[in-house]
Every structure is written in C-alpha cells, then in structure tokens.
C-alpha cells in the first residue's frame, strides 16, 4: 500500500513540473516529501511531460571560446534571469562551450559528448541542470567559425564573467591585418555586428529566393510600358537599400557612420583585407537572424514591411511622456528587425513610449511556444524603449495560463505593458506621474 502524502505537496509539485498526479505522488514518497528532490527525481525518470519543454526560454547565456583560428559560440537557454546569473549555470555554459570546441562545433556532437561531471553525456548533464533549477533548460544552438589564414575577433556585450554574455559575436577577417592590430579591428567589427545585426557577410551569400522571389521578371524581347520600367527600377533600388541594411560590408559602421564597414576595414587593415564570415547570438532570439529563415522569407516581408517611415496616427504628450500611437492599419510586426525600424521611427518623433495595436502583431506572437513575443519584446528592452500592446486579448489569455503569467509579469515590470485601450494607457501614465510627483 502506497504511503500517504500531503495533497498540497502534490499540487505544489504539479504546479512546478506539470507532471501527472501519480508521478508526483510517487516522487514525493520516494524523496520523503522534499519538493526540490522530487523535481530532480522526475527529471531523472524522464516523467516530465512535453509541456514543460515547451515553456518559453527567453533567458540564459551565450558562451564562447576563441583559440587560434577557430571560435565557437553556444546558447544555453533558461526560463528566468535568476537562473542565468547563478554560478552553477554559468559554469555549465562555459563547460558546454569547451566541449563544443573539442567536438568541432556541431550541436548533435556536443549533446552526445561526455558530460563534464563524468556522468553520461552532455544531454543528460543539461537534464540534471534543469532538474536542479526546476526550469526548462536546453542548449538551443551552437556554431563554429574558422579561418585558414586570418584571425577571429570576439565581442561580448556586458559580460557578467569572461566568456559569457547575453549578446556575443565572432568575426573572421583575413588580408593585411596580422597581429595585435588585426585583432582589434576584428573585435570592433564584432561589436558592430552585435549592434547592427547583419544577415550576410557578402552580397553573393544572399539567397536567390530573397533576391528573386517577387522581383519583376521582364522579358527584354517585348515592349514595356513606362510604368513597368519604373516599377522594375524601384524594386532594384529597394534591393540595393536592402543590401545596405543587411550585408555586413555595406552597412554604415556604427562607431563612425560616415563610412561603411568595408571602408573602415580598408582604412584600418589595408585594401586586401576582407571579412570571411561572422556569427552572432543574442539571448531570446530564435531563427529571425538566421539566413535560412531569410532564405524562406516572403519577398513582401523583405521589402514591404519597412517601418522606418512609420508615422504615428497621433503623438500625444502626457506630462514628460510622449506617446507614439501606431495606426491599427499597416504591416505586421513580424520580427525584431521590424521592431528596430519601429523604434527608430518613434525616436525620430521624440517619443518615449510606443502604443502598438494588437492588430499590427503577427499571428504567431501570442503562442509563447514560438518565442516570437520574447524575441521582439527583448529588442525593445535592449534599446531601452517602452512599449504598450493595446487591444483586447481576452480570448488569447483564456486559452493560455502561460500567457496570463507572461502578461502579468510584463505589466509588473513596466518595460512592456498590455492595456485594453488607449484610454487605459493614458490613465496609467497620468497616475504613474502623479505618484512620482511629476507635473502632468
């Protein structure tokens, strides 16, 4: 006969793990009613449902290692920043990066490699780490960058400890850039990559599907109307502008916008120097910055959803705040690159907060399993921009307890808030300023 266990303990364990009642009861019996030990035991027994593995992991750390002409970069994802700042988690990320370097950068080989604690493989090591913290923890991605004759520069943005950060880039350059000078140039380029988020290191690397999917194919053997020629010319001009925004050498150099990245490299390392490649990871982002997604992207998104010219339907001053009210009609906010365009548009109007209607969000924003919301909202946070999601999302909230928790936590922090309408937003801003003693 099974030993009895307090039903409240079973409920608490189910809330933490989403495991079944019987599994929770048995785990608590086997651990003498210790919740933390029961969570760990459920992980070890692989009894946690797939639901816990679908919980959003918008936090974590990027670990990297550069040795000679090779560098690796790994993302160890977690659910909360409390876990990410824990020394045990940080040590695990560094150990996994070292293993990734040893096995050649492949994620599958990394997970199958021996665990640093001598117990099984890395996959099991990560499962035990997840059990320790009671969170969804996993190695989201890994990459390697090599150069035959050049060198690799690394930049980590605000690293808590050496070799770890929330945003990391590696850049490989070759040519007339040997020694210490070349390392400094490569590091500056890596810093630019973190800030400017290029997609490709060369125009030739832009996939044909992105260049040609919706480009007008005009047969030179037939007569064309002036309008057709004008449209074709406009598309080619926008294609060139797209290259200027997404191809690393053609971007304006962030530390000196008077020159392009290519011009900076030539000035610092000689005309023969060139960029061989780069890799950049940011915590919370998924494949939005991956060229494979850009390859599959719709041409209308690539060229049609330009938010840099977005004009507010209204710019409202509430005390010391200026609210950039976005019209509900227009392109969808599909990824964090759109978010950067929108931030620039708001900044150009001197706005301090963006009011974004739910009608302008993509359909995969609210299902948290897609990580779309975390990716986009993290970009607003990185740029220190406040945003209010305006509209009725009651149906989405009723269908997802995780979303309810997400909205509650967002409203509590205040960087991103969800409000029913503009009236509620304005009232909230006035109350906040009154409570802080600001003049309305």
Domain boundaries of the chain, sorted by first residue = 7-49, 59-205+246-289, 306-435
Q: For the domain covering 306-435, report its CATH number.
A: 3.30.750
Q: How confident is the model at residue 61, as a pLDDT?
A: 95
Domains 59-205+246-289 and 306-435 equal at CATH topology level: no
For the segment(s) 59-205+246-289, the CATH number from 3.40.50.2300, 2.40.70.10, 3.30.479.20, 3.30.2020.30 is 3.30.479.20
* All residues at 6 or more sequence positions from 314 whose CB lies less than 8 Å from its CB, including other chains: 325
Helices (H), 159-199: 179-196
User: 7-49 domain in CATH 3.30.160.270?
Assistant: no
End-to-end CA distance of the chain: 68
Between CA 351 and CA 162 the distance in angstroms is 36
In tens digits, the chain (440 residues) has pLDDT values of: 456 788 888 888 877 766 667 778 888 888 888 888 887 887 776 655 555 566 777 789 999 999 989 999 999 999 888 899 999 999 999 999 999 999 998 999 999 999 998 888 898 888 888 877 878 889 999 999 999 888 999 999 889 899 999 999 999 998 865 555 678 899 999 999 988 888 889 988 887 766 664 444 333 434 444 455 555 666 677 678 778 888 999 999 988 889 999 999 999 888 888 999 999 998 866 544 444 444 434 433 344 445 656 677 778 888 888 898 988 888 788 777 778 778 877 876 778 899 999 999 887 788 876 677 887 888 787 777 889 999 999 888 888 877 888 888 888 888 889 999 999 898 888 888 777 665 44
Nearest to 147 by CA among 123, 126, 172, 118: 172
CA angle 231, 310, 205 (to 5 degrees): 55
pLDDT score recorded for residue 149? 86
In this prediction, residue 171 carries a pLDDT of: 96
């Amino acid at each position: 006969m099974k030993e009895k266990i307090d039903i409240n303990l079973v409920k608490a364990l189910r809330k933490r793990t989403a495991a079944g009642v019987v599994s929770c009861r048995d785990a608590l019996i086997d651990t003498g009613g210790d919740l933390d030990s029961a969570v760990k035991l459920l992980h070890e027994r692989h009894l946690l449902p797939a639901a816990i593995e679908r919980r959003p992991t918008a936090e974590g750390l990027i670990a990297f290692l550069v040795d000679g002409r090779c560098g690796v970069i790994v993302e160890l994802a977690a659910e909360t920043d409390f876990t990410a700042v824990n020394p045990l988690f940080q040590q695990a990320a560094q150990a996994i990066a070292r293993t990734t370097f040893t096995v050649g950068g492949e994620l599958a080989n990394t997970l199958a490699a021996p665990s640093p604690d001598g117990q099984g493989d890395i996959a099991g090591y990560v499962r035990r780490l997840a059990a320790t913290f009671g969170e969804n923890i996993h190695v989201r991605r890994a990459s390697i960058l090599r150069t035959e004759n050049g060198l690799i520069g690394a930049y980590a943005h605000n690293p808590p400890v050496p070799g770890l950060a929330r945003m990391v880039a590696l850049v490989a350059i070759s040519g007339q850039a040997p020694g210490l000078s070349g390392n400094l140039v490569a590091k500056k380029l890596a810093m630019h990559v973190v800030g400017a988020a290029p997609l490709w290191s060369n125009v030739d690397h832009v996939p044909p599907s992105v260049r040609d999917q919706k480009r007008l194919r005009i047969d030179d053997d037939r007569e064309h109307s002036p309008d057709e020629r004008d449209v074709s010319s406009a598309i080619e001009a926008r294609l060139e502008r797209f290259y200027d925004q997404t191809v690393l050498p053609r971007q304006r150099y962030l530390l000196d916008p008077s020159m392009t990245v290519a011009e900076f490299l030539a000035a610092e390392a000689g005309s023969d120097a060139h960029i061989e490649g780069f890799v950049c990871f940011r915590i919370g982002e998924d494949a939005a910055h991956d060229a494979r997604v850009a390859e599959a992207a719709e041409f209308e998104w690539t060229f049609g959803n330009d938010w840099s010219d977005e004009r507010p339907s209204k710019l409202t001053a509430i005390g010391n705040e200026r609210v950039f009210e976005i019209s509900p009609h227009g392109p969808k906010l599909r990824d964090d690159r759109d978010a950067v365009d929108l931030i620039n548009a708001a900044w150009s109007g001197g706005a301090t907060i963006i009011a974004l209607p739910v009608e302008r969000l993509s359909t995969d924003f609210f299902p948290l399993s897609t990580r779309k919301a975390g990716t986009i909202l993290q970009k607003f946070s990185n740029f220190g921009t406040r945003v209010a999601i305006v509209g009725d999302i009651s149906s989405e909230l009723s269908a997802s307890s995780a979303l309810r928790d997400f909205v509650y936590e967002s409203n509590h922090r205040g960087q991103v808030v969800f409000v029913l309408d503009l009236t509620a937003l304005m009232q909230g801003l006035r109350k906040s300023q009154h409570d802080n003693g600001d003049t309305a």
